[in-house]
Amino acid sequence: MKALAGLALAAALSMAAATALATADCVTCHRDKTPAAVAQWQASAHGKGGIGCADCHGKDHARIDQDLGRVEPKVCGECHAKALKTHESSRHGMGLHSGWGCTRALEGRSPVECRFCHEAGSTAPKGGLQCARFLKQSSSMAESGCNACHRVETSCASCHSNHNTSLAIVRDPNVCAKCHMGPDHPQWEMWQTSQHGTLHASVGAQTGPGCQRCHLGAGSHNVSTGITTTSGNEPLPDKEAKARRAAMLAVCAQCHAPAFAQRELARGDAIRAESLALVKEAEKIVWDLADHGLLDPMPAARPPHPQRGHELVTDSQMLYEDTSHIERLFFKMKKYDLAKTVKGAYHQNPAYTHWYGNAELKMDLVDIRAEASRLRARGAATAQTPEVRLRALKSQLERGALAPDEYQREKQKVLDGLAR
Amino acid sequence: MKALAGLALAAALSMAAATALATADCVTCHRDKTPAAVAQWQASAHGKGGIGCADCHGKDHARIDQDLGRVEPKVCGECHAKALKTHESSRHGMGLHSGWGCTRALEGRSPVECRFCHEAGSTAPKGGLQCARFLKQSSSMAESGCNACHRVETSCASCHSNHNTSLAIVRDPNVCAKCHMGPDHPQWEMWQTSQHGTLHASVGAQTGPGCQRCHLGAGSHNVSTGITTTSGNEPLPDKEAKARRAAMLAVCAQCHAPAFAQRELARGDAIRAESLALVKEAEKIVWDLADHGLLDPMPAARPPHPQRGHELVTDSQMLYEDTSHIERLFFKMKKYDLAKTVKGAYHQNPAYTHWYGNAELKMDLVDIRAEASRLRARGAATAQTPEVRLRALKSQLERGALAPDEYQREKQKVLDGLAR
Amino acid sequence: MKALAGLALAAALSMAAATALATADCVTCHRDKTPAAVAQWQASAHGKGGIGCADCHGKDHARIDQDLGRVEPKVCGECHAKALKTHESSRHGMGLHSGWGCTRALEGRSPVECRFCHEAGSTAPKGGLQCARFLKQSSSMAESGCNACHRVETSCASCHSNHNTSLAIVRDPNVCAKCHMGPDHPQWEMWQTSQHGTLHASVGAQTGPGCQRCHLGAGSHNVSTGITTTSGNEPLPDKEAKARRAAMLAVCAQCHAPAFAQRELARGDAIRAESLALVKEAEKIVWDLADHGLLDPMPAARPPHPQRGHELVTDSQMLYEDTSHIERLFFKMKKYDLAKTVKGAYHQNPAYTHWYGNAELKMDLVDIRAEASRLRARGAATAQTPEVRLRALKSQLERGALAPDEYQREKQKVLDGLAR
């Protein structure tokens, strides 16, 4: 592999020689036009090693002027073949584009954006799934909100920066912060204020491990070391989960006794299970209200969901907009507070685990029950008619919440009541 | 200008000579009384240059003992004339006092506070406007809450600190944090976790620009470089906005291609426009409820607004207290979540733009619609009487939401209904 | 005292000699098994001074394998006698266990946890009080949430870390962050973004004091210097409060004029009083609803409170779960927003004092009044029956909200109404 990298470097250097004149030309102008970019490049390994502007951006200045000179991973991979390969097979490299849908019908789309999902000149998508929340956004929000992080698949500069490619950047936990933060997954915040993060701040990375030490091996681009769940907090298949747990325990063992580390992670598992149960309890309340026609507004009265029309959606394609108050409470519970509790526990941050997490989950449930009580009180006049009751039973049957025999039994009771 | 500064320095040094004895006297006692303050001063350019205690605080110790020895900007300006002038014409120096009203009737006022708005011995206000939220506060909250930031106009130490006047303080983005943070404008938090902020943390200010590099020129006290909107997220007049955008693009161009920077900022503009539209949609719901007498409580039943009495206020003078639940939801939407979305986009922070911003705006709208639905359900019995309908039309006419001819037409329909 | 410490060190060193072989044995294996822990120890004062593994963890490897080799404070105290003594008499050392109840009936308890409250082999509790919120948690949440901070009493490593015992760790404000953060007491966040914290970041601890400089004396383990209130924001007895205020002012005086510091802290006191009054106003609303049977659900219809069964609890034992919506709003107000306001003021952080604090308190009150209005509207049909009115009067009498003569008078009015 080293030999291969050597060859790639040699090839790159000969390319660099071929474009030496071009690079000198670039620098002549850009020393004035983009002085900090030039200074960063000159001080970088690229600059010192003779990898010039055109080696990455190409020589067609007209394309660059249209902002089409963006450097794609395969360009980086010409020299950094192993890094590209491990990136492409990592969570960062695979499947993130799967969160997107085709947005060419949205206003203001730029052709540049097409390349996140398609090879130039092709309409075949690189991936298959779609994200309902992404599809609801304007072009600008999709780019400045969603894609600003999700383009990690298609841009090495997401982590490595553009012209200052110092390894100090990617070895610093801050590099992870700009995406792994916020209400939906505040991994950076919870690490920063954990024992690990505070020791990192006071006495450095040897005593206080950062993101990279636990989740990336030395120099690896696999970013998921030790993570035993999906991004939705569901467990991975048993075999994979076991291998990942073993990998994490090997990292813990650098500092901690195995019994201690196992117990800490087992607590995380237990907290995940009990927290998911709270979410399921809330989900059941929302579905029951829908069965009885008590959501306000009901899905039929809303703008259609981009993938499912007028269905009620509470799975990973759930929206936070054009929904009812109780569903938006459920969105907060499932997407924000569950993540804070579970990830807080695995990151050994008590304030996230308990206060930002567990306490919020339980207060969400209080609020969801209260709103359900209000909606039931308001719908009391109509909710218990036989028609409503039969419709609710049918809904429960259709989504598998009632077995066919249970359904028949319950239905018969209602009909018997009518006959009396 | 340099010659002028030289003269000022000479004048200062001769002043320093005149008070040399006084300063020595101060230090003799204060070395014991306020040792850290003396040490900071001694190590500062002031201390080394012979600018002593009395040069800034005066010689009247009785005044100082009453906490009247606070150093006003004009004292600093005796030496730092250019800095004072640019400060006074900057956003920090102008108009911030305009947020205040006269609070002499509040309990516990200290005469010191009067000087934020008045010259000593004068009752003429330095500025004209008033801030309703400020006027509702106790004296203590007004000082420790509002004025702790807003006194920047009247105190150079707000940024420069008191005795350690090192330029390292004002060149560090942290100096901005203590005011430009929090739910209403978390510029610091969103910068800190942006690509710019995280690079600042890992490899320094040359690659990761801080607040000062983009918003203050070298050594300038104009703090608004590149900002094209008012503090309420409304666009500035076209000509000024264009000049400011050009100034910002010139900063971006140090590192980025113009096409890239223009596109990023244009996305910010688009996000601002679409976010403002969401706020307007919510505002319309609140006004419609007020028209129909459905706010709970209605403005007539609340303590009066400090400036407008029993009017409904949803503009920049809106209160967060003594209001109804739906208006407090609207306050959060307009004052907090709009700012997070818009400023998040301009600061290239995806988590603020999308999750803390856009998602909250849309969930606010869900909550506001839900509360409106509850209020309408509760008021259903009375809301549709002809009296209520006529009153609503009159309100809409008066605030310009209906044109006179539309009003006549709608009114006639109601009257026709009554005649039938 | 120094002589005593010298003796302790000599004793420790002779112990170290006796276990020298054992430590060498440990290191032989652990250099491979827990390499970072060994490296941290070797570079530490312990490692350099010959204090080996078995000196702290004991020689019984079977116990260690069961995770029973945890180092208790009394082991540390064999050498650090003075530190242990001041720790034990500090807020960190006393009474924190008082927040716990016996949890042996909870699922999944480990015997290790028993030692937080009991000496080995004893069932006598070290302390008496119980915490209802703790008692509601699963074993895993109690450990990863509650005890991860509250075990500070029983573990010097909470602050000092395990093997890297560098004083740089405990002199850095970050060490406090991992517990003193979050929605219930964000002292770290508010310090970090205060003038003090931002100066600490830009020019260091001499100009920008950290937690330790104000709240711990030089080397002291008393962590409460200058704090004049209980953890519930109630004032301490007058004499103690005065002594603590004097101690704080002595710290302030290192940099600030006494008149300035006194005024700042007096503003904190005033803000505490006015904020507590807002909380009392909200509490009254909650109790009034309970008196009239209007909480949804009423305490009688909920799972029992771990200490009080079906009582309404709004004091420091209040739960955030299995409660009603209005009580959970009150929990947020009292536990989170009051703390942000008051602690924000004492820490000179305007954004916490005003926006995260005061504005939230007042919006909480708006929300609580709105929910009360909804509950009253829903209960209007039954709320004003003489039975309900009499029950409300009885409740008010029983909890001291009505004097006996007032009660008799009000009761008579209701009875007179019935007779008419």
- Give per-residue pLDDT as tens, A242-276: 999 999 999 999 999 888 999 999 999 999 999 99
- Closest alpha carbon within chain C to B109: C267
Residue C1 scores a pLDDT above 70: no
Q: Chain B window 201-240: which residues touch A at a Cβ cutoff of 8 Å?
A: 201-203, 206-207
Q: Is the pLDDT of residue C343 over 50?
A: yes
Residues from chain C contacting residue A254 (CB–CB below 8 Å): 34-37
Judged by CB atoms closer than 8 Å, whether chains meet at B270 and A138 is answered as yes
Contact by Cβ (8 Å): A354, C145: yes
Residues of C in contact with B35 (CB under 8 A): 254
Residues A351, C168: C-beta atoms closer than 8 Å: no
Domains, in order of start, for chain B: 90-162 (no CATH), 186-260 (no CATH), 262-419 (1.20.850.10)
- What is the Cβ-side half-sphere exposure of residue B352, based on CA atoms within 13 angstroms? 31
How many A-C residue pairs are in contact by the CB < 8 A criterion? 148
Give C27's pLDDT tier (boundaries 50, 70, 90): very high
| B376 at A interface, C-beta within 8 A | no
- Tell me the pLDDT tens digit for each residue of C208-239: 999 999 999 777 899 999 999 988 888 889 99
Distance from CA of B270 to the nearest CA of A (A): 7
- Give B-chain residues touching C204 at CB under 8 angstroms: none
Which residues, numbered 271 to 300 in chain A, qualify as contacts with chain C under a Cβ-Cβ cut-off of 8 Å?
271, 274
Considering only alpha carbons, which residue of chain A is nearest residue C175? A198
Q: Please report which confidence band the pLDDT of residue B99 belongs to, taking 50, 70 and 90 as the band edges.
A: low
pLDDT at A330 over 60: yes
Window 44-103 of B: residues touching C by CB (8 A cutoff) are 64-67, 69
* Residue B325 touches chain C, beta carbons under 8 Å: yes
Residue C18 has pLDDT above 60, yes or no: no
* Chain C neighbors (3+ CB pairs < 8 Å): A, B
**Residue B199: predicted pLDDT:** 97
Q: How far apart are CA C405 and CA C397, in angstroms?
A: 10
Q: How many CB pairs under 8 A join B and C?
A: 148
> Nearest-CA distance from A366 to chain C in Å?
6
Summarize pLDDT for C101-154 with one digit per residue, the tens. Answer: 666 666 666 666 676 677 777 777 665 557 889 889 998 998 899 989 988 988
The chain-wide mean pLDDT, for chain C, equals 88
Q: Tell me whether residues B138 and C274 touch, CB distance under 8 A.
A: yes
3-state secondary structure of A305: strand
Q: Which of B315-324, B367-376, C140-149, C350-359 shows the lowest mean pLDDT across its residues?
A: C140-149
CB-based contact (8 Å) between A352 and chain C? Answer: yes
CB pairs under 8 A between A and B: 148
The helix (run of H) or strand (run of E) holding residue C328 is helix C325-331
Residues of B in contact with A166 (CB under 8 A): 202-203
Render pLDDT for A276-329 as a digit per residue (tens, 0 to 9): 999 999 999 999 999 999 999 999 999 999 889 999 999 999 999 999 999 999
Taking 90 as the threshold, does the pLDDT of residue C284 lie above it?
yes
**SS3 annotation, chain B:** CHHHHHHHHHHHHHHHHHCHHHHHHHHHHHHHHCHHHHHHHHHCHHHHHCCCHHHHHCCCHHHHHCCCCCCCHHHHHCCCHHHHHHHHCCCCCCCCHHHCCCCCCCCCCCHHHHCCCCCCCCCCCCCCCCCHHHHCCCHHHHHHHHHHHHHHHHCCHHHHCCCCCCHHHHCCCHHHHCCCCCCCCCHHHHHHCCHHHHHHHHHCCCCCCCHHHHHCCCCCCCCCCCCCECCCCCECCHHHHHHHHHHHHHHHCCCCCHHHHHHHHHHHHHHHHHHHHHHHHHHHHHHHHHHCCCCCCCHHHCCCECCCECCCCCCCCCCCCCCCHHHHHHHHHHHHHHHHHHHHHHCCCHHHHHHHHHHHHHHHHHHHHHHHHHHHHHCHHHHCCHHHHHHHHHHHHHCCCCCHHHHHHHHHHHHHHHHC
Residues whose CB is less than 8 angstroms from the CB of residue A200 and which lie 6 or more positions away in sequence, other chains included: A173, A207, A208, A209, A210
Among A261-275, C90-104, C283-297, the range scoring the smallest mean pLDDT is C90-104
d(CA B290, CA B299): 9
| Gap from B347 CA to chain A (nearest CA, Å) | 10
For residue C65, which residues of chain A lie inside 8 Å, CB to CB? 257, 259
Touching chains, A (3+ CB pairs < 8 A): B, C
Q: Is the pLDDT of residue C85 over 90?
A: yes
Best probe of the A interface among B194, B203, B329, by most A CBs < 10 A, is B203
Q: For residue range B157-202, list pLDDT tens digits in order.
A: 999 999 999 999 999 999 999 999 999 999 999 999 999 999 999 9
> Dihedrals φ, ψ of A90, to 5°?
-90, 170
Q: Among partner residues A66, A149, A169, which is closest to B203 by beta-carbon distance?
A: A169
Q: Is B257 within 8 Å of A67 when comparing Cβ atoms? A: yes
**Higher pLDDT, residue A157 or A218:** A157
Chain A residues within an 8 Å CB radius of C42:
none
User: Closest to B168 (Cβ–Cβ): which among C195, C203, C367?
Assistant: C203
* A254/C34 CB distance under 8 A: yes
Contact (CB<8Å) C274/B168: no
**pLDDT for the residue A231:** 81
Q: Name the residue of chain C whose CA is nearest to A273's CA.
A: C140
- Whether residue C81 has pLDDT greater than 90: yes
Cβ–Cβ < 8 Å for A134, A100: yes
Which of residues 119 through 178 in chain B touch A, CB cutoff 8 A?
none
Question: Which chains share 3+ C-beta pairs under 8 angstroms with B?
Answer: A, C
Å between B37 CA and nearest CA of chain A? 26
Contacts of A268 in chain C (CB under 8 A): 140, 144
How far is the C-alpha of A307 from the C-alpha of A136, rounded, in Å? Answer: 10
Tell me whether B302 touches chain C (CB under 8 Å). no
> Which residues does chain C have within 8 Å of residue B34's beta carbon, measured at their own beta carbons?
253-257
Residue A20, pLDDT above cutoff 70: no
Which residue from C67, C164, C331 is facing A263, i.e. has the nearest CB?
C67
Residues from chain A contacting residue B206 (CB–CB below 8 Å): 36, 39-40
**A174, closest residue in chain B (CA to CA):** B198
Map tokens 């650098």 to a residue.
A254
Mean pLDDT of chain A: 88
CB contact under 8 A, B169 and C203: yes
pLDDT, tens digit, 9 for 90 and up, residues A398-419:
888 899 999 999 999 889 887 7
What residues have CB less than 8 Å from B237, skipping those under 6 apart? none
Tell me the pLDDT tens digit for each residue of A366-402: 999 999 999 999 887 555 678 888 888 998 898 888 9
In Å, how far is C324's CA from the nearest CA of chain A?
Answer: 6
Asked if B40's CB is within 8 angstroms of C206's CB, the reply is: yes
- Nearest residue to C248 (alpha-carbon basis) of C215, C205, C212: C215
Answer whether B198 touches A (CB < 8 Å): yes
Q: Residue A151 pLDDT > 90, yes or no?
A: no
Taking all residues of chain B, what is their mean pLDDT, rounded to a whole number? 88
Selected for mutation to probe chain C from B141, B166, B212, B326 (highest C CB count within 10 Å) is B141
| Local confidence band at C17 (pLDDT 50, 70, 90 cut-offs) | very low
Of C33, C181, C331, the CB nearest to A351: C181
Q: A104 in contact with B at a CB cutoff of 8 Å?
A: no
- Give residue B277's identity as a one-letter amino acid code: A
Name the pTM for this structure.
0.90
Residues in chain A closer than 8 A to B268 (CB atoms): 140, 144
The mean per-residue pLDDT over the stretch B323-331 comes to: 98
The residue among A40, A55, A68, A63 whose CA lies nearest residue A160 is A40
**Measured between alpha carbons, how far is A370 from C14 in angstroms, rounded to an integer?**
66
CB contact under 8 A, B202 and A169: yes
- Is residue C232 a contact partner of residue C99, using CB atoms and an 8 Å limit? no
C324 vs A contacts (CB less than 8 Å): 366, 370
